[in-house]
Amino acid sequence: SQTIHQWPATLVQPVGSPLSLECTVEGTSNPNLYWYRQAAGRGLQLLFYSVGIGQISSEVPQNLSASRPQDRQFILSSKKLLLSDSGFYLCAYDAQGNYNSPLHFGNGTRLTVT
Amino acid sequence: AQTVTQSQPEMSVQEAETVTLSCTYDTSESDYYLFWYKQPPSRQMILVIRQEAYKQQNATENRFSVNFQKAAKSFSLKISDSQLGDAAMYFCAYRVQGGSEKLVFGKGTKLTVNP
């Protein structure tokens, strides 16, 4: 069966510190991978998506970056966190080329930048 | 640009009653897919229901059904016999067939279920 793992679940980091959030998918090959951010009480903002290893598309200019070193691994990073980076981060995947395929989400990471 | 609009930031319903959440979208495409997601307080995103634009029949999943009006570009979600566990944020989403594969989400509707 297909599963998605995202960690850590909760993270508190000081301003200016680095960030690394990791997401892995099991049970499927060559998925599309996505990073979303959700501010408190608000909708989903697409940050990055990837259709293959090393292929990253950025939706919003910011101090965050993403990488896909392996087919089913997606990493969200920052060299120096800002207060405005606080939020709830969700990783998701779906089947490439199947437009009827729903997004499957991880459990999310609650990031607080202090 | 493709947009999805959920005009009701918040809704409330009495337990066992029926509620309808609205969603409209803007597209010039004819082939696309529509989804409703639920996000309970746990913040886990859960697929509720999906609809293919080429299908005229409205999708149904147990107590959840949609009213898909393609000409009006409307995709509302009806929840029948509302339960306390239905309390959540509900997001409408849209994807074009043959497009960039990204889902476009609305801003969500917060549903409260009153006992």
Cα–Cα distances in angstroms (integers) from residue A44 to residues A49, A89, B112, in the given order = 13, 9, 20
> What is the model's pLDDT at position A23?
97
What are the structure tokens assigned to A91, written together?
């990783």
Eight-state DSSP code of residue A102: P
Q: Beta strand pairing status for B32-39 and B88-96?
A: antiparallel
> What is the model's pLDDT at position A96?
77
> What is the model's pLDDT at position A98?
74
Reading phi first (left if > 0) and then psi (alpha if -120 to 50, else beta), residue A87 is in left
Q: Does the CB of A85 have a partner CB in chain B at under 8 Å?
A: no
What mean pLDDT is reported for chain B? Answer: 92
For residue A15, pLDDT beyond 90: yes
Secondary structure of residue B22 in the 3-state scheme: coil
What are the structure tokens assigned to A94, written together?
């779906």
For residue A2, pLDDT beyond 80: no
Cα–Cα distances in angstroms (integers) from residue B74 to residues A70, B4, B19, in the given order = 39, 10, 16
Residue with tokens 């202090």: A114
Which band of pLDDT confidence, cut at 50, 70 and 90, is reported for residue B48? Answer: very high
Q: Which residues of B touch A34 (CB under 8 A)?
A: 102
> What is the model's pLDDT at position A77?
96
Q: Beta strand pairing status for B109-114 and B88-96?
A: antiparallel
Residue among A96, A99, A101, A110 with most chain B CBs within 10 A, to mutate: A99
Quote the CA–CA distance of B78 and B71 in Å, as a whole number.
Answer: 19
Which band of pLDDT confidence, cut at 50, 70 and 90, is reported for residue A16? Answer: very high
For residue A30, pLDDT beyond 80: yes
For residue B99, pLDDT beyond 90: no
User: Residue B100's Cα: distance from chain center in Å?
Assistant: 21
Residue with tokens 């409330």: B12
Which band of pLDDT confidence, cut at 50, 70 and 90, is reported for residue B58? Answer: very high
Quote the CA–CA distance of B45 and B30 in Å, as a whole number.
Answer: 27
Cα–Cα distances in angstroms (integers) from residue B4 to residues A48, A79, A105, B85, in the given order = 19, 33, 20, 25
- Please check whether residue A76 is in contact with residue A47, taking contact to mean a CB–CB distance below 8 angstroms: yes
Among chain B, residues having any CB pair with chain A shorter than 8 Å are 32-33, 35, 37, 43-45, 47, 50, 52, 91, 93, 95-99, 101-103, 105-108, 110
In chain B, at which residue ranges do the beta strands (DSSP E only) sit?
3-5, 10-14, 19-21, 24-26, 32-39, 46-52, 60-61, 64-69, 74-79, 88-96, 104-105, 109-114
> Is the previous residue joined to A8 through a cis bond, with omega within 30 degrees of 0?
yes
> What is the model's pLDDT at position B34?
93
Quote the CA–CA distance of B24 and B16 in Å, as a whole number.
Answer: 26
